[in-house]
Amino acid sequence: MRKCDNKVLLINPEDSRNKLNFEGIIVNEPLDLEVIYTVLKDNNIKVYFYDFLISQKQTLYEVIKKLNPNYIIANANVNQIPFVFEYFETAKKIDSNIKTILTGNYVEHNYKSIKSKYLDFISRSYDPKCILNIINNKKIKDINGLCYKEKGVWNYNNLTSYDINELPLVNRTHFYKNKDKYRYLELLGACQIRTSYSCPYNCNFCYRTSLNCGKYKAKDITKVVDEIESIKSDNIYIVDDDFLFNKKRLYTFVEEIKKRKIKKQYICYGRVDFIINNKDIIKQLKEIGFYYILVGLEAINDNFLNDYNKLIGEENNKECVRFLNEIGINCMGMFIIDLNFKRKDFFNLYKWIYNNDLKHVAVSIFTPMPGTELYNEYKSKLITNDLTKWDFLHLVAKPKFLGKRQFYFYYYILVIKLFRLAIKNKIYDFIDWKKLRKEFFKLVIKK
């Protein structure tokens, strides 16, 4: 017998079932689910978390059985969608009355391609009140951007942009309970905040710029600093696609942090052109505790950079790494392993990283994201339909000059060399390299 009170289970899905997924190295707090948690809790709804990224004592099946929730909500990236459908199937098989809701940035533009008989709603807006309105049985046709079924046929409401200034202060109960699990590399208890939504730039491979109906919205700095001040953690991970955008806003941020004597360490994303053209403000950010800046260097030659519409050149990338090294901010350089790579490109990339003394590196295989301009261009070259492969660690389209096995071979050699460089540089001491290497070789053999 079901109770009348609504009970909601929020699911943070697995990132990947491939062991090479930085498990235990970067573990992200499920901020967007916590935002939903906050709004539901404020409306006296009973809400529970099941977070696959941190170890669970019970299986999802056991939790659903015991809890018997009315709603299950998952927030997923593209590669997590197949996992979510499995969870929803489990739930529906336990009780077909459980309603399932899928949300997350991927669904904003790809909602029409998402199909599962176990799915009831797709919530496309970043506004958490949309989910509250479903649960509170508000008129379904009026819910911003909602996708819902009527007599087995999907209906799609129009979506309008959202102003993140309307978000309430995030309830961090879940984060504090698991603070020692969420980390960005060596920074433990990395507490996420979002100070803007969508991206003001327009790199043609990137999906993020199209979010929120393509409308970049930034939060008032006073609200941002209020939130930082209220967080009981020394490490703040600003997850904006690009925090280093508005110089005036950044000066106000620095002033406010200094005025309130807040002492924390920060991680944020920023672009090369902003960093090298605004060195004064970057130095001030260093003074108040900026520890990592995650920079999309993307490539080491101008042809690739021009192709991506990055508006920067190779020399700018070098200058950015040199400058951040000089002032003591850790530059996490993010690169794309392009489908046009030849053998020499893999080796040249390593050489560039070594010669420019770039200590922190992330290399992702070029993955045309559904919903981007580039996706249509690559549609005919796709070699898989398996969405779990859209994790930036797999080839999803055919490389131009190398066979699939060769491409993976050179990619793995590059990653192994980068591991060795990191060990030599004595960074990431907390990582179990032996375990990681073992998993890695297993993967090489499997390919």
Interacting residues with ligand SF4 (CB under 6 A): 199, 201-203, 206, 208-209, 241-242, 271, 296
- CB closer to ligand SF4, 273 vs 439: 273
Closest separation in Å from C-beta 273 to ligand SF4 = 10
- CB closer to ligand SF4, 227 vs 242: 242
Closest separation in Å from C-beta 245 to ligand SF4 = 9
Closest separation in Å from C-beta 200 to ligand SF4 = 7
- CB closer to ligand SF4, 335 vs 408: 335
Closest separation in Å from C-beta 357 to ligand SF4 = 23
- CB closer to ligand SF4, 39 vs 336: 336
- CB closer to ligand SF4, 221 vs 297: 297
Closest separation in Å from C-beta 60 to ligand SF4 = 32
The alpha carbon of 158 is separated from its chain's Cα centroid by a whole number of angstroms, namely 25
Closest separation in Å from C-beta 208 to ligand SF4 = 4
Q: Cβ contacts of residue 261 below 8 Å, gap of 6+? A: none
- CB closer to ligand SF4, 79 vs 233: 79
- CB closer to ligand SF4, 189 vs 296: 296
Query: Among 286, 284, 242, 290, which residue's Cα sits nearest to residue 266?
Result: 290
Closest separation in Å from C-beta 182 to ligand SF4 = 22
- CB closer to ligand SF4, 122 vs 294: 294
Longest Cα–Cα distance in the chain: 67
Closest separation in Å from C-beta 314 to ligand SF4 = 17
Closest separation in Å from C-beta 203 to ligand SF4 = 3
Measured between its terminal Cα atoms, the distance across the chain in Å is 50
Q: Cβ contacts of residue 116 below 8 Å, gap of 6+? A: 85, 88, 89
Q: CA-based Rg of the chain, rounded to a whole angstrom? A: 22
- CB closer to ligand SF4, 49 vs 237: 237
Closest separation in Å from C-beta 201 to ligand SF4 = 4
- CB closer to ligand SF4, 58 vs 202: 202
